Amino acid sequence: MSQDSDHPDDQGPAALGRVLVASNRGPVSFSQDEGGSLSARRGGGGLVSGLSAMAGSADLLWICAALSDDDRAAAQQAPDGRLDAAGHDTPAAVQMLDIAPDVYDQAYNGVANSTLWFIHHLLYDTPNQPRFGSEFARQWESYRSYNRAFAAALARGAEDRDGARVMVQDYHLALAPGMLAGLRPGIRIAHFSHTPWAPPDYYRMLPDDVGRELLEGMLGADHAGFHAQRWADAFLDCCADILGAEVDRAARQVSYRGHRCDVGVHALGVDAADLRQRAAQPDVERHVAALTEAANGCRLIVRIDRTELSKNIVRGLAAYRELLSAHPELHGRVVHLAFAYRSRQDLPQYREYTESVQRIARQIRDEFGTPGWDPLTLEVRDDYARSLAAYRLADVAVVNPIRDGMNLVAKEVPILSERGCALVLSREAGACAELGRHALVVNPYDVAATAHAMYEGLMMPQPERARRCAALAQAGGALPPQQWLADQLAALG
C-alpha cells in the first residue's frame, strides 16, 4: 500500500517533484489531415488515467517514441521536442523521440514484439522457432540503441532536478534502467513489466549474452514491478539462475554487483467510477440498443481482445463450437460476440493469426447458422464504445489467454455488467490471482473444459451469478491506476 505522504491527493502542486515516465507508446498520437495540418489523438490505458490524477501534484514529463511519420513531424515542430500537456490534452508534457525508422522497426518489431513478447508469453513453435542468427544480432544492436536514446532523454529530463524519479515501462525498455543509472548515478528508477515473465527454462532460449544483458539492464532499476506474484517470482528465479545474483525471496530483493533492486507486485486495477461514467455516454447507449436488437433475445457470450497470439482467440472460438455441438438446445438461444481488434499488423504472425480467427469464425457460422439465427458476430475493427456496450450486456465473459500479464478486460466486464455476468477465466492470466475465486477458471489449452465452463456460466443460477459478479467487480476496482502509480512512486522513496 502507498505511504500516505506519497498520495497525490494529500499534497499541494509539485509536491511529488519531478516524475519522468518512459514507454514505447505515448499518451498521444498524430495524424495529418488533407490540408496537411497535424491533429493529436489522446490514447487510453492505465498509465494515462493514473498520471491524470497526479497531474496537479507532480512535475511530469512522459518520454515516448514517435511511432509514425506524422508523430515524427509533430516532434520536429515542437520546441526542444516537447509537447506541452494542456495543448495536447495529455496528463504530462510529452517528448517524442525521433528514432530512425529502421532502428525503431528492428527494436520494436524484431526484438520487442517478435522475441521478448514470445519469450514471456511462451509462444514459440519450438521445433522451428526461434532462430537467433545474424539478422537477430542486427536487431539486437538496434534494440540497444533504441534503449540508449531513451536513457539519454531521461538523463536530460532529470538534469537539475534533485530527487527526480523515473518510471520505465515494459519489455521494450529493459536495458534503459541500467543505461540511465550509468548516466545519472543515484537517480531513482522503477521499471514495470506489464507482461508475464518467463520461467528460467524458457528464458534460456535467448542467446546467453542477450538474456544476461536484459536482466542486468532491469537490475539497474531500484524497483522492478510486476502485476502478479508469479511473474515476480519468475524474474527472481531468472536473476538467481542466469545471473547468479544474490536473491532474497522472502524480502523480494536482488543484489547484483553492489546494487540492490526491490521487486514488487502491483496488480493494476480499474477506476470503476470513471469506467461506469464513460459507459453511460450516448455513443455507448446507441450500441447497447443496436446489440440488443441484433441479439434478438439470445443470451450473450462476450470476448474482447486485441488479436494477439497470446490471447488464445482461436481456441476460445473452438470451445464455442464445441459448446454448440454438445448442446443443440442452445441453438437459436445464444450468440457469441467476439471482438478481436487488429494489432501489430506489420508482423506476419499477427496477420496470419487474424486470418485464423476469421477462418474459424466463418466455419462456425457456416456450420450452425440458420436463416433466423447467426451464432457468432466477429468484429475486427476497434470501437471502444461498442466494446463497453458489449460489456454491459454480457451474460458470460470469456478471457482465456495462453498467458497474460494482467488482462484488464477480466476486471472491466464485471464492473459494467448489467446482467451479473459469469467470467470464464484462464488460470494463466495475471488477473486470476485476484479474480479466480469468483470466476470459472480454465486451463487455456483445454478446449473441452473451456466449452464446459461457458455452459456452466450460461446455466449458473441468477443469484449466484450476481453474487460472483459483484465480488469480481469489487476485486477489479481494488487498485485503480492512480493508486497503482502512487504505490510504485512510494516504493521508490
Q: Work out whether strand 59-65 and strand 18-22 pair parallel, antiparallel, or are unpaired.
A: parallel
2 or 195, CB closer to ligand G6P? 195
Please list every residue from 126 through 185 that binds ligand G6P, using CB under 6 A. Answer: 170
How far does CA 24 lie from the centroid of its chain? 12
Q: Is 349 in the site for ligand G6P (CB under 6 A)?
A: no
Residue 290-329 contact track with ligand G6P, rule CB under 6 A, x = bound: ----------------------------------------
Residue nearest to ligand G6P (CB): 194
25 or 259, CB closer to ligand G6P? 25
For the CB of residue 24, give the shortest distance to ligand G6P in the complex, in Å: 6
Please enumerate in sequence order all residues whose Cβ is within 8 A of that of 45, keeping only pairs 6 or more positions apart, or say none.
none
Please list every residue from 179 through 198 that binds ligand G6P, using CB under 6 A. Answer: 194-195
Start-end of H helices in 56-133: 69-77, 85-88, 101-105, 117-120
The conformation of residue 115, written as its DSSP 8-state character, comes to I
For the CB of residue 387, give the shortest distance to ligand G6P in the complex, in Å: 14
Under 8 Å between Cβ of 424 and 472: no
Under 8 Å between Cβ of 150 and 97: yes
Q: How far apart are CA 490 and CA 493, in angstroms?
A: 5
73 or 347, CB closer to ligand G6P? 347
Question: By CB neighbour count within 10 A (0-12 exposed, 13-18 middle, 19+ buried), where does 347 fall?
Answer: middle
Report the DSSP beta bridge partners of residue 338.
Answer: 303, 378
375 or 476, CB closer to ligand G6P? 476
24 or 377, CB closer to ligand G6P? 24
Please list every residue from 371 through 430 that binds ligand G6P, using CB under 6 A. Answer: 405
Q: Determine the size of the site formed for ligand G6P (CB under 6 A).
A: 8
Neighbours of 337 (CB within 10 A): 22
Q: How far apart are CA 412 and CA 414, in angstroms?
A: 6
Residue owning grid cell 514491478? 225
Torsion angles phi and psi, residue 96, rounded to 5: -95, 125
For the CB of residue 220, give the shortest distance to ligand G6P in the complex, in Å: 20
8 or 405, CB closer to ligand G6P? 405
**What's the chain's Rg over C-alpha atoms?**
23
Letter for the amino acid at 304?
Answer: I
How far does CA 385 lie from the centroid of its chain? 19
For the CB of residue 67, give the shortest distance to ligand G6P in the complex, in Å: 8
For the CB of residue 350, give the shortest distance to ligand G6P in the complex, in Å: 10
For the CB of residue 113, give the shortest distance to ligand G6P in the complex, in Å: 6
For the CB of residue 380, give the shortest distance to ligand G6P in the complex, in Å: 15
Residue 68-107 contact track with ligand G6P, rule CB under 6 A, x = bound: ----------------------------------------
Which of 344, 392, 403, 438 binds ligand G6P (CB under 6 A)? It is 344
For the CB of residue 341, give the shortest distance to ligand G6P in the complex, in Å: 10
Q: How far apart are CA 186 and CA 180, in angstroms?
A: 10
The DSSP annotation for 258-272 comes to: TEEEEEEE------H
For the CB of residue 23, give the shortest distance to ligand G6P in the complex, in Å: 7
Please list every residue from 9 through 68 that binds ligand G6P, using CB under 6 A. Answer: 24-25
- In the complex, the residues that contact ligand G6P under the rule CB under 6 A are 24-25, 170, 194-195, 343-344, 405
